[in-house]
Amino acid sequence: MTYLTFTVPPMPHYITSGLSYIPQGGHHPSRSNIQVFDLLITTAGCLYIGEENARYEVRPGQAIILRPDRYHYSTQPCEELTWTYWLHFHASGSWVHDDPRMEPLLLEEPPIAEREIEAFVVAPFSLRIPQYTTLLHPEKMYDLLEQLGQLQPHAHVSAVRMSEQLVFQEVLRQLALSSDSETPSAARACAEKAASYLRQHYREAFSAKQLGDELNFHPVYIARCMHKEYGCSPVAYLLRIRIEQAKLLLMQTSLPVAHIAQEVGFEQAAYFTASFTKLEGLSPRSYRQQFSRDKRFRQPFRSGSNR
């Protein structure tokens, strides 16, 4: 199964939708580079459609997402009256066409981009949707698309546009559910186990060998899987966790910087300061000063808190 993986934020954006039919002997129109994603969900009959070299038969309860940059065409006439919901949406963020059967590549660590100093960084995540799937709850999906149809005549009202986007997010969730019901790929499962272990043990000294022993995978394979799922190595992932935890302590407590370094897993305060400065663009002490105007009483820090 192939997937469309969107980096969020921003969320994919709903444009418009509708319900149409193709008579017996009719065809889906052929189009190229329509610049929007085209979600098609069949409720009756069968839709025969192709995208480049791939061919699909979309039967009742099944869905397909056609890419905005590909050529789409009918592969054969409909053998019976075919009803299909269609929905156009746009992704202003990055996305990839992902095939889990491909071996994950070991990528170079991406350079750190300059950005404004923020109290809390909005960490991106992946929205992974199968391109062609059988819906887990087709009737629920039909109901959502009916809701969008009812909202369509009033789409000029801002509040209605907001409602459309909320319904559309549920449409995406329903599509993702059909993927989650399947067994995740070995690479994805490995990456998620590694990330979970690092989050639980970020205060401890890191060892690639120990991580491999805990997960029962070779460290090089773990690194490849984490690059594919999270875009970074285990060491870089751990560093990000430690720095985010340190930012919370810098804002919420008056603990010395050296103490905070130890609390989040750094053995040397100098290395903590250097790592923090490289990722955040300023030192831990300067970062704390960004939030020091409010002199009200701070809650005492309790070691081991998950706040």
Q: How confident is the model at residue 301 (pLDDT cuts 50, 70, 90)?
A: very low
**What confidence score (pLDDT) does residue 103 get?**
45
Residue 148 has pLDDT above 70, yes or no: yes
The CA-based angle 136-137-143, given to 5 degrees, is 150
Pairing relationship of beta strands 125-130 and 3-8 according to DSSP bridges: antiparallel
Spatial CA neighbour of 98 closest among 232, 192, 6, 5? 5
> Are 27 and 74 spatial neighbours (Cβ–Cβ below 8 Å)?
yes
Q: Could you tell me where in the chain the CATH 1.10.10.60 domains are found?
A: 186-289
CA dist., res. 35 & res. 275, Å (int): 41
pLDDT digits (tens, 9 = 90+) for 235-274: 999 999 999 999 989 988 999 999 999 999 999 999 999 9
Residue 91 has pLDDT above 90, yes or no: yes
CATH (residue range 3-180): 2.60.120.280
Higher pLDDT, 239 or 230: 239
**What confidence score (pLDDT) does residue 293 get?**
57
Tokens at residue 229, please?
A: 């799922």
Q: What burial class does residue 45 get, using C-beta atoms within 10 Å of its C-beta: 0-12 exposed, 13-18 middle, 19+ buried? A: buried
Task: Calculate mean pLDDT across residues 125-134.
Answer: 91
Which has the minimum average pLDDT: 56-65, 77-86, 154-163, 174-183? 174-183
The amino acid sitting at 188 is R
Neighbouring C-beta atoms of residue 281, cutoff 10 Å: 14
Q: Any idea which fold 186-289 has?
A: Arc Repressor Mutant, subunit A (1.10.10)
Please indicate, yes or no, whether the overall pTM of this predicted structure exceeds 0.75. no
**What confidence score (pLDDT) does residue 179 get?**
72
Tokens at residue 290, please?
A: 């960004």
pLDDT digits (tens, 9 = 90+) for 167-193: 999 999 999 988 765 556 788 889 989
CA dist., res. 302 & res. 104, Å (int): 40
CA dist., res. 205 & res. 268, Å (int): 12
CA dist., res. 176 & res. 295, Å (int): 46
Pairing relationship of beta strands 95-98 and 37-44 according to DSSP bridges: unpaired
Tally the C-alpha atoms within 13 A of residue 153's C-alpha that lie toward its C-beta: 2
Q: Could you tell me where in the chain the CATH 2.60.120.280 domains are found?
A: 3-180
- Per the listing, tokens 């030192």 go with 283
> Are 37 and 67 spatial neighbours (Cβ–Cβ below 8 Å)?
yes
> Are 25 and 78 spatial neighbours (Cβ–Cβ below 8 Å)?
yes
